[in-house]
Chain A
Amino acid sequence: MRSYSGLRVLVEGLRGHRGWEAAWRSSAPKAKYDIVVIGGGGHGLATAYYLAKQHGVSNVAVLERAWIGGGNSGRNTSIIRSNYYYPQSIDLYELALKSYETLALELNYNIMFGRRGIIFTGHSRHYVETMQRLVGAMELRGLDVRMVGRDEIASRIPVLDMSSGARFPVWGGFVQDRAGWARHDAVVWGYARAADRLGVDIIQGCEVRGFRKTESGRVIGLETSRGAIAADKVAICVAGHSTTLADQAGFRLPITSYALQAFVSEPIKPVLDTIHLSLATGVYVSQSDKGGLIIGGGLDLYPSYAQRGNLPVGAQVLGAVADQYPRFGRVRMLRQWAGIVDVVHDSSPILGETPVPGLYLNCGWGTGGFKAIPAGGQLLAHHLATGRPHPIAEPFGLDRFHTGRLVDEAAGAGIAH
């Protein structure tokens, strides 16, 4: 398979684009693999890619119930940042952010990563104090965050209502300049293509229906809609549907599945070249390269597996947009969608072993899984290949709910997931 390049685009353009081949093979399942990854989203594909790339384990299959990137990987707002509170979390999300910075080169796939920065704003003295505490913790870990005043916010986000009569008066904020945005489909397709080139089988339309175990309880394979597949190790990377697979495998998880909605507007002229998140409303807005406003907010109000989202939360999110950016009040929404996210009590992911030998887990990212795809993939691949957790992944084991060593970003970073 040939590499992508600017020259290639030019040559294919002259030849009528007849020379492009499929980005990855359409594989039928083999009888046995060293490692089977369940879930063909970003985290599952990245796990398979890093297994082959960093650990030389290429007898790997990725099983996807529907199609590649059709779940949460295609339903997020594609924001990438690492401004978390606890050192464990900062190390984790920094690994992801640094990997994203060079990912297009590594995968030979333009993921359109743009370092446009993210600005959090606070709307009272108390929010400013909270932000100073957050920024202090991040600076101690060497993160590139800083407090910003009203003037800089007004110049970076000219559409934001900064007037004295604003519904959400702006008192200050903090910014991470290295944060950014990438095209989510390209991340998924890039990992799929790169993994495929290293020999990984990507099997779409293959639903897992049960686990095969030895008498001692060790997982040795799977029952799927396309027949039985044997495997030495199995990894579950299915976000909001993790509990469904855990039930089949016979263990419990501290996960509740909620719908998280996102919205995109009709394209408008460029007005917003950064990402803005309001701490008062939890609503965040950015503008895509095509001109559409990409809007996200809090979780729906009750657990759900319906990928559609409910109206009251949509009205609250869009009402907050109209309050904070009066000029957006008449912008029409083009699309609305929802993904099923896996919310954990401390809003930190679960990585590593399960109570079932041979079965591994990557879940619990809640509303923030997209930004972590390269980290989730590298850390789980490390654990699968070496048998031990990577030092960065160690604090995020499932056993933390027994030991009480929670990484409580729900309280620490104060972010709604």
Chain B
Amino acid sequence: MRTARRNRVHLWRESHLRRPDANAEWTEYLFFRKNPKGVSFERWVHALGCRQWFNLARDTVSHRVLAIYAMGEAPPAIARDAAP
């Protein structure tokens, strides 16, 4: 049973997805993920605080946070090997 995840800061999902117009693209939008080993661009929410949504660039191997930027901004350029 999934326990309620009442975390102070909560990851929602992959960021920079565009809501599709065509029906055929909904499978991709709903289910398919980049799931990168390395730099990941994600959408987080400060759930038990200011309720603010924000974007976060994170390395999925080292867990290092590489950049934090506002919703609607383009992802920053981060080299594949930026994280030590």
Residues of A at under 8 Å CB distance from B? 127, 241, 243-244, 252-257, 279-282, 298, 301-306, 310, 312, 316, 345, 401-402, 410, 414-416
Contacts and interface: CB of A to CB of B under 8 A. Distances in A.
A159 to B, nearest CB: 22
Contacts of A127: 1
A252 B33 CA distance: 7
17 contacts: A241-B37, A253-B32, A254-B33, A256-B33, A256-B35, A257-B35, A257-B60, A301-B10, A302-B58, A304-B60, A305-B37, A305-B61, A306-B61, A306-B63, A401-B27, A416-B1, A416-B2
A401 B31 contact: yes
Contact of A298 (B3, B30, B35, B63): B3
Interface string B40-69: 101000000000000000101111000000
Most chain B beta-carbon neighbours within 10 Å: one of A252, A298, A345, A414: A252
Contacts of A410: 2
A25 to B, nearest CB: 32
A305 B62 CA distance: 8
Interface residues of B, number: 24
B26 to A, nearest CB: 9
Given A252-B33, A415-B1, 15 more contacts: A253-B33, A256-B35, A280-B3, A281-B3, A298-B2, A301-B7, A302-B42, A304-B60, A305-B37, A305-B60, A305-B61, A306-B60, A312-B7, A414-B2, A416-B3
B33 A302 contact: no
A119 B43 CA distance: 38
Interface of B: 1-3, 5, 7, 10-11, 27-28, 30-37, 40, 42, 58, 60-63
Given A253-B32, A256-B33, A304-B63, A280 B1 contact: yes
The 9 tightest CB contacts between A and B, nearest first, are A254-B31, A243-B35, A252-B32, A302-B11, A401-B31, A279-B1, A305-B37, A414-B1, A305-B61
A415 B2 CA distance: 7
Contacts of A305: 37, 60-61
Contacts of B40: 303
Nearest to B24: A402
Contacts of A244: 37
Given A306-B60, A306-B63, A301 B32 contact: no
A302 B11 CA distance: 6
A281 B1 CA distance: 7
Contacts of B32: 252-254, 401
A243 to B, nearest CB: 4
B11 A306 contact: no
B78 to A, nearest CB: 17
A387 B44 CA distance: 43
A255 B63 contact: no
A351 B31 CA distance: 16
Nearest to A122: B1
Contacts of A316: 3
B32 to A, nearest CB: 4
A162 B11 CA distance: 36
B39 to A, nearest CB: 12
A104 B11 CA distance: 43
